[in-house]
């Protein structure tokens, strides 16, 4: 199954007035994995987050060849606040279409819909699930599957899956990255926005996303949320049951103590996350195993990151690596995934 998305490119990344880097994961993901399609960034008053790309106005970006402004924010609830509307209208007036992965639909905002109609611009929502999703069957499928599982949201599940897919391919292994969120879909050009699927069909959507394949083919599936998350655990569980992974890699950010956007809840331990994922995953994948741990050490310098990686590997008795740093630790994690 392919949920194809044909998008106008290249992009200007819109950061709104975002102050939390974790909520700008769409912009960062596009910068890191589709950088050749990103000309710059655009923000409004109050923003403190930057991707490091050139700051451009919509008119400047259009003059450089940009075709669309992409909302690079994935805030809690996926809404498009009124404070952003004038900037988005300005982008359409400069000649850009709007691409959004938010829950809120661009066409449901009258000022944007009317401006698009007046200017002949497109409003493109990528968080649209495919039609005809079945209820999950639970039947086993051929092929191999790996799922990135997290202790929280926005800490590296997508990056881990993309890095592992690339590493598998570098070893001559047939592997496909399977996107399950708006940023992954923007990067890959296909996928299923799992959090936009009606709950009863979410596990079925995961089955569609990773269909039967050759015995030696790997689907590397982008995880969503956390099995411990007070709001999004249902999406995580449906993805776990429907994808039927042979292997999981647990993703974690050292030093993050409270759940993003839900400070009343502590981030679970890596050990508890492994245990719960294996117990619940065994329902549809009896031989599921954890290959190791992916750490997001972006807040640490290289020496500090290497110390944490080594200490966690020794403590857990598992391969531990930061895929974005690579090196021998990451190669050991890849070995463990393929073992």
Decide which of 334 and 75 is more confident.
334
Report the C-alpha gap between 85 and 93 in whole angstroms: 12
Q: Which pLDDT band, with edges at 50, 70 and 90, does 6 fall under?
A: low
Report the C-alpha gap between 177 and 111 in whole angstroms: 36
Q: What is the DSSP letter of 49?
A: -
Residues 6+ apart with CB under 8 A from 58: 12, 42, 66, 69, 87, 90, 91, 93, 94, 95, 96
Tell me the pLDDT tens digit for each residue of 266-324: 999 999 999 999 999 999 999 999 999 999 999 999 999 999 999 999 999 999 999 99
Report the C-alpha gap between 221 and 269 in whole angstroms: 22
Sign of CA dihedral 259, 101, 117, 59: positive
Instruction: Confirm whether pTM is higher than 0.95.
Output: no
Report the C-alpha gap between 178 and 318 in whole angstroms: 25
Contact 250, 318 (CB under 8 A): no
Phi and psi at 29, nearest 5°, equal: -65, -45
Same-fold call for 11-125 versus 144-338? yes
pLDDT at 144 over 90: yes
Phi and psi at 295, nearest 5°, equal: -105, 135
Mean pLDDT of 116-144: 95
Report the C-alpha gap between 31 and 187 in whole angstroms: 10
Residues 6+ apart with CB under 8 A from 248: 146, 147, 148, 149, 274, 277, 278, 281, 288, 289, 290, 291
The predicted structure's pLDDT at residue 5: 54
Contact 26, 182 (CB under 8 A): yes
Instruction: Spell out the CATH class of 144-338.
Output: alpha beta
**What is the CATH number assigned to the segment(s) 11-125?**
3.40.50.720
Distance of CA 162 to the CA centre of its chain: 9
Tell me the pLDDT tens digit for each residue of 20-59: 998 898 999 999 999 999 999 999 999 999 999 999 999 9
Tell me the pLDDT tens digit for each residue of 145-200: 999 999 999 899 999 999 999 999 999 999 999 999 988 999 988 899 998 999 99
Tell me the pLDDT tens digit for each residue of 53-106: 999 999 999 999 999 999 999 887 889 999 999 999 999 999 999 999 998 999
Q: What is the DSSP letter of 177?
A: E
The token duo for 266 is 């502590």
Q: Which pLDDT band, with edges at 50, 70 and 90, does 116 fall under?
A: very high
The domains of the chain are located at: 11-125, 144-338
Report the C-alpha gap between 140 and 136 in whole angstroms: 11
């Amino acid at each position: 199954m392919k949920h194809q998305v044909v998008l106008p490119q290249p992009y200007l990344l819109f950061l709104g007035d975002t102050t939390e880097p974790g909520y700008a994961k769409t912009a960062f993901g596009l910068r890191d994995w589709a950088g050749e399609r990103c000309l710059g960034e655009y923000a409004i008053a109050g923003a403190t987050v930057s991707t490091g790309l050139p700051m451009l106005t919509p008119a400047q970006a259009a003059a450089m060849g940009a075709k669309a402004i992409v909302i690079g924010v994935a805030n809690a609830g996926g809404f498009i606040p009124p404070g952003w509307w004038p900037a988005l209208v300005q982008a359409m007036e400069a000649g850009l279409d709007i691409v959004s992965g938010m829950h809120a639909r661009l066409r449901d905002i009258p000022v944007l819909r009317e401006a698009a109609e007046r200017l002949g611009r497109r409003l493109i929502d990528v968080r649209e699930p495919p039609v005809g999703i079945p209820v999950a069957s639970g039947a086993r499928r051929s092929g191999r599957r790996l799922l990135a599982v997290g202790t929280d949201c926005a800490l590296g599940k997508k990056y881990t899956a993309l890095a592992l897919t690339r590493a598998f391919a570098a070893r001559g292994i047939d592997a496909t990255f399977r996107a399950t969120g708006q940023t992954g879909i923007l990067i890959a050009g296909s996928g299923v926005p799992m959090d936009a699927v009606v709950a009863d069909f979410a596990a079925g959507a995961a089955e569609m996303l990773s269909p039967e394949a050759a015995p030696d083919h790997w689907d590397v599936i982008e995880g969503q949320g956390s099995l411990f998350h007070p709001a999004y655990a249902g999406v995580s569980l449906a993805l776990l049951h429907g994808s039927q992974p042979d292997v999981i890699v647990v993703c974690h950010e050292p030093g993050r103590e409270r759940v993003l956007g839900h400070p009343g809840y502590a981030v679970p331990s890596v050990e508890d996350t492994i245990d719960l994922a294996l117990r619940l995953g065994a329902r549809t994948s009896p031989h599921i195993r954890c290959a190791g741990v992916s750490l997001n050490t972006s807040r640490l310098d290289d020496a500090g990151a290497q110390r944490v990686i080594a200490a966690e590997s020794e403590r857990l008795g598992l391969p531990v690596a930061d895929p974005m740093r690579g090196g021998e630790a990451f190669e050991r994690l890849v070995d463990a995934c393929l073992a």
